[in-house]
Structure 1
Amino acid sequence: MNAMLNSRRTLLLVLVVVVMVGGQWAVPGFTNADQLANQLKIATFLGLFGISQTLVMIAGGQGLDLSVGAAATLGGIVGAAVIGAGPAGLPLALVAAALCGALVGVINGLGITVFRVPPLVMTLAMASLVDGGLIVWSSLLHVNTAASATLVALAGRSVAGVPTVSVLWLVAGTLVWWFLDRSAWGRRLMATGANPTAALLTGARVRVIRIAAYTASAIIAALTGVLLVGYVGQAFLGLGSGYVLTSVVVAVIGGVSLGGGRGDYVAVAIAAVFITVLTSLLTALQIGEAGRQCIFGATLLMFLAVNGWSVGRRAVAA
């Protein structure tokens, strides 16, 4: 298992290096310090959304969270409004965004585990509900959605040349790695995704674990939405919509099993960097949208094939 995880990480790291070296050769200045810092910042947001998908996919039940974009938009708009409404500042905005995300996640989890709505349908319906509610709210109430100076500074500052948001991602990613790889709860999550019946027989509360996974997913997405507001300078409808499918792609490329029970966030984080630098290179080379979609599709198919091959090898070995 460890050898497989290390091989996936190594493959992704090699691809990142190849793209960066090729980018520097094709586009001089592609790997200068400012460009690298900007790419790392962009990868940060994708990597944070990747945490959300990693948790729900590992939990099993064909889990996917297509409401992460809506949760991020909700968190960003609520966070910006709270900061603009009074002197409470960033901490209260983060709490408000997290509570909104928790509500979205709990509803998702209950719909999937109690009412047995397929995750794809449930989270897509929740995304539509949240987006529709935000449209109504925005039309009835004129709230401040501009990024505060604090948020802008948080998104723009650096620590020893590393963007502050990327430092936060490093902390969050380390915690997720520890949770999945070292904690008893992480092992229960893996066991639930791999074989829910066996997990239930060993005393795991499968329903609670899956609800917790969707709740954590939405909370992380909502908090990421607050950081996104600082990055783009304004909260707006559709703030997080561009990350929904990309976050799924990053999780799959990172080796998270669509069937549940297996995943490595370190590889997912490297995959986020890989997708970011690849996108940046294709943009710099002025590759058209059709060409980019073909390249991304081929990349995804390649990693899906690798995932299937790995599963087949484990089945034969068993």
Structure 2
Amino acid sequence: MTALRLGRPLLLLALTLLLLAAGEVLLPGFIGPGQIANQLKIASFLGLFGLCQTVVMAAGGQGLDLSVGAIATLGGILGAALMNGSNAMTPIGAGVAIGAGLAAGCVNGVGIAVLGVPPLVTTLALSSVIDGGLIVGVSLAHPANGASPGLVAMTGRSFHGIPTVAVLWAVIAAIAIWLLSRSAWGRRLCRTGANPITARLSGTDTTRVRIVAYMMSGGIAAFGGFLLTGYVGQAFLGLGNAYVLTSIVVAAIGGVALAGGRAPYGGVACAAILMTVLVSLLTAINIGESGRQVIFGLTLLSFLMLDRYLMRARR
């Protein structure tokens, strides 16, 4: 099992290096310091949203969070409205954004774990409520949508050549890996996803575990949207929508079990980097949107088939 857990990240990193080498051959300068730093920034955001899916998928019940895009947009718009261009209000804006994400995630968790509504239905419904009501209401009440200079500087700054956002993501990733694979709560999460009946018989409150999982997803998504506001300079409708499907793809490629019970975030982080480099290369060589979608689909299908093969090999 340990070899398999280590093998997925190593495979993804090896494929990333191959893509970087191919990019440098086709487009000299593709692996220049500036280009690498920009790809790390983009991968950091994708990795954060991939963490949202990792947690809820690990909780089982065919869990997927289709509301991460809407929650990210809500977090960005709330944060921007409270910051209103003021550095002093930036921590408050971040706190309120995360609080709103936790509340939205709690609604998802209660609907799924307590009321028994399927995750796809619950999260899609909440996404519609947020997009169609809350975000519009906040935008009308507080039209300011610009990030503070401090947040813009932080998301654009580098630390010894490494983007600050990537450093922050690395810290969050280290905490997430420990939480999901080493902590008692992480073990309860994976037991809940693998076999909720057995988990309940062993004393795990599976309802609470799943609610907390969706709350974590909401809080992380809102924080990601808040950081995105600094990265692009302002909040706007649809800010986080591009990350809904891509976050699911990197979670699946990273080795998270669609049926639940497995949360290898190290692999998901490597998948976020791989997919960012792949998108960058395809864009640089002028592959059209239809061609990119075909390649993404084939990539996802290949890794799902690999998972199926590994499952049969372990039996």
Kept in 2: contact 1:53–1:65 (CA 8 A): yes
Which residue of the partner structure matches residue 22 of structure 1?
Answer: 22
Note the C-alpha offset of 1:143. 2.2
Which residue of the partner structure matches residue 168 of structure 1?
Answer: 168
**SS of structure 2 residue aligned to 1:241:** coil
Mapped to 2, the partners of 1:120 and 1:311 lie a distance apart of 25
Describe how 1:75-154 pairs up with structure 2 within 5 A. 75-84=75-84, 88-137=88-137, 140-154=140-154
> With structure 2 as the length reference, what TM-score do the two structures score?
0.98
Note the C-alpha offset of 1:137. 1.1
Note the C-alpha offset of 1:37. 0.1
**SS of structure 2 residue aligned to 1:89:** helix
Which residue of the partner structure matches residue 62 of structure 1?
Answer: 62
Which residue of the partner structure matches residue 7 of structure 2?
Answer: 7
Which residue of the partner structure matches residue 71 of structure 1?
Answer: 71
Count of matched residue pairs: 315
Kept in 2: contact 1:134–1:237 (CA 8 A): no
Considering only aligned residues, what root-mean-square deviation do their CA atoms show, in Å? 1.2
Name the aligned partner's letter for residue 176 of structure 2: V
Name the aligned partner's letter for residue 183 of structure 1: S
Name the aligned partner's letter for residue 113 of structure 2: T
Equivalent pairs: percent with the same residue? 57
Note the C-alpha offset of 1:54. 0.3
Instruction: Using the TM superposition, name which of 85-94 and 51-60 deviates more.
Output: 85-94
Name the aligned partner's letter for residue 272 of structure 1: A
Mapped to 1, the partners of 2:5 and 2:106 lie a distance apart of 31
Gaps of 5+ in 2: none
> With structure 1 as the length reference, what TM-score do the two structures score?
0.97
Kept in 2: contact 1:76–1:228 (CA 8 A): yes
Mapped to 1, the partners of 2:300 and 2:65 lie a distance apart of 18
Mapped to 1, the partners of 2:192 and 2:137 lie a distance apart of 38
Note the C-alpha offset of 1:89. 1.6
Name the aligned partner's letter for residue 210 of structure 1: R
Note the C-alpha offset of 1:246. 0.1
Name the aligned partner's letter for residue 287 of structure 1: I
Describe how 1:42-57 pairs up with structure 2 within 5 A. 42-57=42-57
Per-residue displacement from partner, 1:211-257 (whole Å, max 9, x unpaired)? 00000000000011010000011100100000000000000000000
Mapped to 2, the partners of 1:104 and 1:40 lie a distance apart of 29
Distance 1:87 1:12, change over 3 A: closer
Per-residue displacement from partner, 1:20-68 (whole Å, max 9, x unpaired)? 0000000111000000000000000000001100000001111000000
Name the aligned partner's letter for residue 101 of structure 1: G
Note the C-alpha offset of 1:138. 5.1
Which residue of the partner structure matches residue 267 of structure 2?
Answer: 267
